């Protein structure tokens, strides 16, 4: 019996089974793909954090402790790959006599490096010119002293005097911030910037130079290879635990600067954001696929009840009928589950080059197993549970009756649940998008991060409430809009317009369900696409803010480079060069960065968004700086601290280039600047460069912003580095994208985008076509009776097309509204993902058009198939039924 039942299902219910299998396959594939991608992303974040650190630990030997004993402890610590001692000594300055003139710098640092240091820590030092070993000057120091390899530099050491050294090379220190950190100090007490003046000398030479000098310390630099867990949070716990264990073993003799732990600390926060994106953007897709499966199964509910009644009449026991229903659910679950896993593996192979999406074998197998179990649960809920419910609540006589229309409205409509959900969503959204709200929480003094998951409630309530509202509107329109439906159907159905409207009104519940499914699928595609496009837009904006322009040439502090030097930067590929002044100014006792710009041309080299300013648009504020040169744009924090009002006079103390002393220069507060290219993220000023030059007696430029039209940034930067040598720092946008992006950016959100958007198109096509096709297939008897009663083929075709038109119009319109609202809410709630926050959403028109076309094409294909079925001879159709 089982074999004959299974073969009968396969022969006579092929379409229904295939549709249910497709729904299960989509749900399983989406969960397996997104879960594997999430796990691989977390592993990528951990690997990137480890690679970003040149020295994992900087263990500072405390006063009175034996450096050799501390070195031995670090070497014996589990996971230590290499450990070398490095000496640090403070100087009062450096001098150099070059080409007949003497140059002098302020205080600096001398480092003593042991042999083999650069081989063990290759990313800590980068050679620019000269020898890679010996006495090495940092780039900034070489620029300040106008020194080059072969020159002699004097090192001023307290209690020792001046020691002369001959320069062998000039180097860059890419990780100077961590190298010169104050080990063990909290973030707020760390130096705001590394020292400008640094000399690196061999360890033996360092000992002789600093003999007798005070304030000399030793650090043990360690490279770690501890086999960290793939999850950043677990890796952070592991490395910080090892650091604390070392400090405990040293009994106060060592203090660990855990650079690796700091990098993993940032990565674990990004891992939580990746998890949030998975929940926000992936779970709705899986739920939608499950709902699609349930809708497909319910489309044949009436026929399934009739078959069940026939089996009961032929003497099958409830247990046997349950077994047959379970067999159908098992077939759907098994075939759909394995098909979904195959689709997920193919997606991983095409998008990432591997079926595991880069995840480890264990994680990959776990997610594939969970996805398969989820598919089995959905199949059981969609196929087996309704069969069991009918078995216990429906009599054999009831199964012979045609299902009628329930006159009473659903309970949720009577109680206004949809309106309550939407109001609740708005209230949660207001609370979760407040000024002090943080989605990812990092409590001070607590080593664990947490997510405020209640913020998920806002989008979830909106999604459900909007779906119910679309359902309500569709039901009301079909129930009370029969005259309007008849008028709309008349061009397609002629004299059967009234009958068509009556049929659609009678079938308003399945029609409303189809409209809601299509609306949810379209809204999923829209919200996912808009979020991902906005994310890419803001990631690019962040990189451009940090770098300043396509290519930026930054002059060393103290250098006097006039704006006219822009001419030598016009290499092939450069369209425009914009000089920007960078000074420092005191407002009260607070020292802030001051940027002087040319308001009329600054936008030609860099992008300025209205979101970067307050109190006016970009164009308005730039015109204010042009019309009144002493106008000043002030950071939001400074406006609050000093209680400024528009037009107030702001007296800044800036250094006069002629006297080298501070002089007071009056400005007028004209607007707020929140972000600006190359500026820090806290407090700074922006004003007219001509006014600054006149007030300070110097037109010296701090940086040149180069516009290359968005192309060839690397090539232009390479040409400029060759031309300028060590006299200036050249950075390009492609380089900055990799350095300023969070580890969330490094996992390539485009991968997540490809997965989600591909499935969104499939879900939209499935929601639009599958349910309609099955609904039309179940109504072959209706079409056959209409044919017997005299309906012509053209009229039957019009009935089908009218229903398809209603489904397409209602579903796409409802999906557009829900998708827009969800996009606005998602971007606002996930503000922490964006830096800077977007001024407007980025709408990928091409993709959304593709989604709409796919949905309409699926609906049209289903309608054409229904028309073909309706054209069969009525007698033959009724005999089969």
Q: Is 329 exposed, middle or buried (0-12, 13-18, 19+ CB in 10 A)?
A: buried
Give bridge partners of residue 88 from the DSSP assignment: 111, 217
Residue 127: phi and psi, rounded to 5, are: -75, 135
pLDDT over 90 percentage in the chain: 26
HEC string for 462-522: HHHHHHHHHHHHHHHHHHHCHHHHHHHHHHHHHHHHHHHHHHHHHCHHHHHHHHHHHHHHH
Q: Is 320 exposed, middle or buried (0-12, 13-18, 19+ CB in 10 A)?
A: middle
> How many CB atoms sit inside 10 A of residue 727's CB?
15
Tokens of 721: 């580095």
Spell out where 107-226 has E strands: 108-113, 126-130, 136-138, 152-157, 161-166, 169-172, 198-202, 216-224
Q: What is the pLDDT of residues 687-707, one digit of tens each?
A: 999 999 999 999 999 999 999
Name the 3-class secondary structure at 761. helix
Residues 832-845: b if buried by 16+ CB within 10 A, e if exposed: ebbbbbbeeebebe
Tokens of 408: 């009473």
Residue 622: phi and psi, rounded to 5, are: -65, -35
Work out the end-to-end distance of the chain between its first and last CA atoms, rounded to an integer number of angstroms: 22
> How many CB atoms sit inside 10 A of residue 737's CB?
19
pLDDT at 71: 94
pLDDT at 595: 94
Q: Check: CB of residue 22 under 8 Å from CB of residue 862.
A: no
Name the 3-class secondary structure at 791. coil
User: In terms of pLDDT, which residue wins out, 22 or 11?
Assistant: 22
Tokens of 258: 């855990």
- Per-residue confidence band for 103, with pLDDT thresholds at 50, 70 and 90: confident
Name the 3-class secondary structure at 70. helix
pLDDT at 390: 66
How many H-runs (helices) and E-runs (strands) does the chain carry?
32, 25
Tokens of 461: 């309530």
Q: What is the pLDDT of residues 444-489, one digit of tens each?
A: 434 444 556 677 788 889 989 999 999 999 999 988 888 888 888 8
CA distances from 769 to 531, 690, 846 (A): 26, 65, 21
Q: Which of 186-195, 796-805, 870-879 has the highest mean pLDDT?
A: 796-805
Token pair 């080593």 in the structure block, residue:
447
pLDDT at 682: 72
Candidates 256, 221, 225; CA nearest to 114 is: 221
Q: Check: CB of residue 630 under 8 Å from CB of residue 690.
A: no
Q: Check: CB of residue 553 under 8 Å from CB of residue 646.
A: no
Candidates 485, 475, 479; CA nearest to 505 is: 479
- Per-residue confidence band for 350, with pLDDT thresholds at 50, 70 and 90: confident
- Per-residue confidence band for 875, with pLDDT thresholds at 50, 70 and 90: very low
Q: What is the pLDDT of residues 724-777, one digit of tens each?
A: 877 788 888 887 776 555 545 545 556 666 777 777 888 888 777 766 776 666
- Per-residue confidence band for 208, with pLDDT thresholds at 50, 70 and 90: very high
Per-residue pLDDT, averaged over 111-123, amounts to 92
């Amino acid at each position: 019996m089982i074999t004959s039942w299974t073969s009968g299902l396969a022969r006579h219910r092929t379409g229904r089974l295939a549709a249910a299998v497709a729904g299960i396959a989509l749900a399983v594939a989406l969960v397996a793909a997104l879960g594997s991608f999430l796990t691989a992303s977390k592993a990528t974040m951990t690997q990137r954090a480890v690679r970003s650190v040149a020295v994992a630990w900087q263990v500072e030997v405390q006063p009175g402790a034996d450096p050799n004993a501390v070195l031995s402890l670090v070497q014996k610590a589990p996971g230590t790959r290499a450990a070398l001692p490095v000496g640090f000594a403070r100087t009062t300055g450096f001098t150099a006599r070059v080409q007949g003139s003497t140059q002098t710098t302020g205080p600096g640092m001398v480092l003593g490096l042991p042999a083999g240091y650069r081989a063990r820590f290759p990313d800590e030092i980068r050679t620019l010119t000269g020898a890679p070993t010996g006495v090495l000057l940092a780039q900034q120091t070489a620029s300040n002293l106008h020194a080059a390899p072969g020159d002699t530099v004097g090192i001023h050491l307290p209690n020792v005097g001046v020691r002369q050294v001959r320069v062998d090379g000039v180097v860059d220190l890419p990780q100077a911030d961590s190298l010169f950190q104050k080990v063990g100090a909290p973030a707020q007490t760390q130096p705001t910037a590394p020292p400008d003046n640094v000399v690196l000398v061999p360890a033996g030479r360092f000992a002789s130079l600093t003999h007798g000098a005070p304030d000399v310390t030793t650090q043990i630099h360690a490279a770690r290879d501890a086999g960290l867990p793939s999850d950043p949070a677990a890796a952070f716990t592991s490395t910080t635990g090892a650091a604390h264990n070392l400090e405990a073993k040293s009994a106060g003799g060592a203090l660990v600067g855990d650079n690796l732990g700091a990098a993993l600390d940032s990565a674990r926060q990004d891992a939580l954001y990746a998890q949030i994106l998975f929940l926000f953007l992936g779970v709705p897709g899986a739920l939608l696929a499950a709902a699609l499966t349930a809708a497909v199964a319910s489309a044949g509910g009436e026929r399934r009840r009739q078959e069940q009644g026939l089996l009961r009449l032929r003497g099958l026991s409830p247990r046997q009928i349950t077994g047959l229903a379970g067999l159908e659910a098992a077939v759907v679950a098994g075939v759909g589950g394995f098909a979904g896993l195959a689709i997920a593996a193919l997606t991983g192979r095409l998008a990432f080059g591997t079926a595991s999406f880069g995840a480890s074998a264990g994680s990959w197998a776990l997610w594939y197993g969970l996805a398969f179990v989820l598919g089995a649960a959905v199949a059981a809920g969609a196929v087996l549970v309704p069969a069991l419910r009918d078995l216990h609540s429906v009599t054999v006589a009831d199964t012979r009756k045609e299902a009628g229309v329930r006159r009473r409205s659903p309970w949720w409509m009577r109680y206004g649940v949809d309106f309550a959900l939407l109001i609740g969503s708005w209230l949660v959204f207001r609370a979760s998008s407040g000024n002090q709200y943080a989605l990812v929480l990092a409590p001070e003094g607590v080593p664990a991060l947490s997510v405020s998951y209640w913020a998920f409630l806002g989008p979830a309530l909106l999604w459900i409430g909007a779906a119910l509202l679309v359902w309500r509107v569709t039901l009301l329109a079909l129930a009370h809009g029969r005259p309007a439906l008849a008028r709309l159907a008349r061009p397609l159905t002629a004299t059967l317009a009234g009958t068509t409207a009556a049929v659609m009104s009678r079938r308003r519940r399945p029609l409303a369900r189809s409209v809601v499914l299509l609306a949810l699928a379209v809204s999923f595609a829209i919200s996912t696409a808009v979020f991902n496009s906005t994310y890419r837009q803001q990631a690019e904006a962040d990189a451009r803010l940090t770098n300043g322009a396509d290519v930026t040439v930054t002059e060393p502090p103290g250098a006097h480079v006039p704006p006219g030097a822009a001419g030598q930067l016009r290499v092939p590929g450069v369209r425009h060069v914009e000089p920007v002044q960078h000074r420092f100014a005191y407002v009260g006792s607070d020292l802030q960065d001051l940027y002087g710009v040319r308001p009329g041309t600054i936008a030609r080299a860099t992008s300025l968004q209205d979101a970067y300013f307050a109190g006016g648009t970009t164009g308005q504020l730039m015109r204010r700086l042009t019309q009144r040169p002493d106008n000043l744009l002030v950071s939001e924090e400074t406006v609050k601290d000093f209680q400024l009002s528009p037009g107030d006079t702001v007296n800044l103390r800036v250094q006069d280039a002629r006297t080298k002393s501070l002089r007071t220069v009056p400005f007028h507060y004209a607007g707020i600047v929140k972000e600006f290219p190359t500026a820090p993220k806290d407090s700074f000023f922006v004003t007219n460069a001509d006014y600054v030059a006149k007030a300070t007696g110097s037109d010296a430029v701090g940086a040149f912003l180069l516009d290359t039209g968005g192309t060839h940034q690397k090539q232009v930067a390479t040409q400029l580095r060759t031309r300028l040598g060590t006299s200036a720092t050249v950075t390009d946008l492609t380089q900055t994208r990799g350095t300023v992006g969070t580890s969330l950016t490094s996992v390539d959100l485009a991968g997540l985008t490809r997965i989600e958007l591909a499935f969104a198109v499939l879900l939209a096509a499935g929601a639009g076509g599958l349910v309609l096709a099955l609904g039309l297939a179940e109504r072959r008897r209706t079409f056959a009776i209409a044919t017997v009663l005299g309906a012509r083929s053209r009229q039957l075709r019009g009935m089908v097309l009218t229903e398809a038109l209603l489904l397409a119009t209602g579903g796409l319109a409802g999906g557009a509204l829900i998708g827009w609202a969800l996009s606005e809410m998602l971007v606002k709630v996930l503000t922490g993902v964006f830096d800077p926050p977007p001024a407007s959403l980025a709408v990928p028109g091409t993709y959304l058009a593709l989604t709409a076309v796919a949905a309409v094409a699926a609906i049209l294909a289903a309608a054409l198939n229904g028309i073909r079925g309706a054209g069969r001879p009525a007698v033959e159709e009724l005999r089969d039924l």
